[in-house]
Chain A
Amino acid sequence: MDFAFQAEGLVKRFGKKTALSGLDLAATAGTVLGVLGPNGAGKTTAIRILATLMRPDEGRAVVGGFDVVTHPSRVRRLIGLTGQYATVDEELTAFENLVMVGQLLDMRKAEAGSRADELLRQFDLQEAGKQRASVLSGGMRRRLDLAVSLVGRPQIVFLDEPTTGLDPGRREDLWRLVRTMTAEGVTVLLTTQYLEEADALADHICVIDEGRAIADGTPADLKQIVGGQAIVVRPVDPQQTDVAVDVLEQVAGRRAEPVDRGVVTVPVDDDRVLPEVIQRLAAADIRLAEFSLRLPSLDEAFFALTGRSKEARR
């Protein structure tokens, strides 16, 4: 298969701390790879290695056909990087930031200027164009950062938690943008802490924890494992939480997890079990303060994948 990028057995240590312990990642051209993992899983470290900002201690990574260690400058011509934290010059205006990067990418000044205007329009930042980046709101700066990483129309784009700090509307805009890019043949690696986001965008999802992949597959594959949706139940009487856990486990055939303040969740394949759950809860005489169906959270996915709860992981 023709991979846009491929990493094998990446290991990265910081002193005693092992950030990556043999991570494999790959994406075929024109697809979105979603890398899902909790804080400290190694997402940023993996992206930094692929984007040539760091060298792996072991393993190797090839991006666009070039090895990141031996041919970093060839790799840099192909990629766009939006790091987890903004990388714009705060004392320059949004427009100046974009033009500067355009010129560093060997565009002529006029070309860089028109590309900057185009991106400001695309990211709805026209007003910000003349303002210094330091006065922009967090979400605007985030969008500017994204725009900056797309100046050179890269073929491979690395986005490290790109929707963190964006309001729901902007998040949808970003999702749309990612889909447009992939339709044009761009390959995207996107890290996120939200299963929902990976589900909405990714062709392939890799769940990582403590520096290694713990699950890997299409969103559909993953749902098979973690359950496509989750039922959330909160009994009026917190004393009844344990009974609710029993009922949910019996119906769903999976382990239910009591989360905070008497809320119980259990992953389910689909909504067909709902009537039975309601019936059984009623039979057990459990009055409900909250009852809903939603996509599982990352924590629940982890629980299903590793059998360890958030607390146990710490």
Chain B
Amino acid sequence: MTTTAETSRSRPLGLVRHSAVLAKRSLVKTKRSPGYLINGVMTPVIFLVLFLYLFGGAVSGSTDSYLQYLFPGILVMTTSLSGMLATGLNLNIDVKKGIFDRFRSLPIDRAAPLLGSVAADVVRYVVAVVILFGIGYALGFRVQSDPLSTLAAVMLAVVFGFCLSWVTVFLGVLVRDEGAVLAFSFVAFLPLVLGTSLSAPVDTLPGWLRAWANVNPVTHAMDACRALLNGGAVGDTVTQTLIWSAVLLVIFCPLAVLAYQRRE
């Protein structure tokens, strides 16, 4: 009889390899049923079109200049929304479908299913962002800065979405009901993504909303992307976004892994 125990000890980087195998699984599933991915792009696009033609004239005088203002925020909305939905929900479904038990009975690191799923998310964000840029360009959005800043904006949005996703990962593992995860994501979506500089500059907002938008990390991410794509002054927005991302990651990633390990 060949024993797997021997082969496994002779192959290094288990966590990375196992996470990659599980990320591939997740992507194969997205390819077969791309509903969530499409949903994750369409929701921001609907907001984009809605805001553009509803407020464009009022806020910026013309839809063209408003599109330049709006698009970077929609970019962050796309990655945040995908982050809030995908992994938390997928993991929750895995637990319920029982495949979670399969993973847990295998000699793999308990973090591998989480990392695999989140890594697949990053690929999904990139696909979503590419589609979004396509639609943005079709509507008339043009990057005003250089390719490097564009890349930085995209990466910042993806990193932010990735770090934010650990909140719902934690929730997806903690809560039994997938409806609850979904409900949380939608409830959190409103203040988190809309209570920002998304549709109008923060100083034009009413006082209470301004106070919230100013502390909301999503605002920083949107401001940073706007500056990077439109060539404005970046200021400390990028640093703020990165600090917030790190904070979210450092708190919720260990919590999620712990909750995943604890579940029976």
Contacts and interface: CB of A to CB of B under 8 A. Distances in A.
Interface of A: 48, 51-55, 73, 76-79, 81, 83, 85-92, 96, 100-101, 103-107, 132, 148, 152-153, 155, 184-185
B54 interface: no
A83 B98 contact: yes
A92 to B, nearest CB: 7
Contact of A88 (B2, B29, B99): B99
Given A88-B99, A100-B22, A155-B3, 9 more contacts: A73-B107, A78-B5, A81-B101, A91-B32, A91-B33, A107-B4, A152-B4, A153-B4, A185-B1
Contacts of A132: 32
Q: Chain B's interface: helix, strand, loop or mixed, by majority?
A: helix
A53 B264 contact: yes
Contacts of B29: 89, 91-92
8 contacts: A77-B8, A87-B100, A91-B29, A91-B33, A96-B28, A105-B4, A106-B7, A155-B1
Given A52-B104, A96-B28, A77 B98 contact: no
Most B C-beta atoms less than 10 A away, residue of A48, A77, A86, A106: A106
- A-side binding surface: helix, strand, loop or mixed? loop
A48 B263 CA distance: 12
A153 B2 contact: yes
A104 B14 CA distance: 9
Nearest to A78: B5
B28 to A, nearest CB: 7
Contacts of A96: 25, 28
A83 B101 contact: yes
A152 B102 CA distance: 13
Q: Which 3 residue pairs are nearest across A and B when measured between Cβ atoms?
A: A106-B8, A87-B102, A76-B107
A107 B2 contact: no
Given A83-B101, A88-B102, A54 B4 contact: no
A155 B33 CA distance: 37
Contacts of A89: 25, 29, 97, 99
A51 B101 CA distance: 10
Given A53-B264, A91-B32, A104 B106 contact: yes
Contacts of B32: 91, 132
A76 B105 CA distance: 6
B108 interface: yes
Contacts of B101: 53, 81, 83, 87
A103 B17 CA distance: 9
B105 A77 contact: no
B34 to A, nearest CB: 12
B198 to A, nearest CB: 34
Interface in B1-44: 1-5, 7-8, 11, 14, 17-18, 21-22, 25, 28-29, 32-33
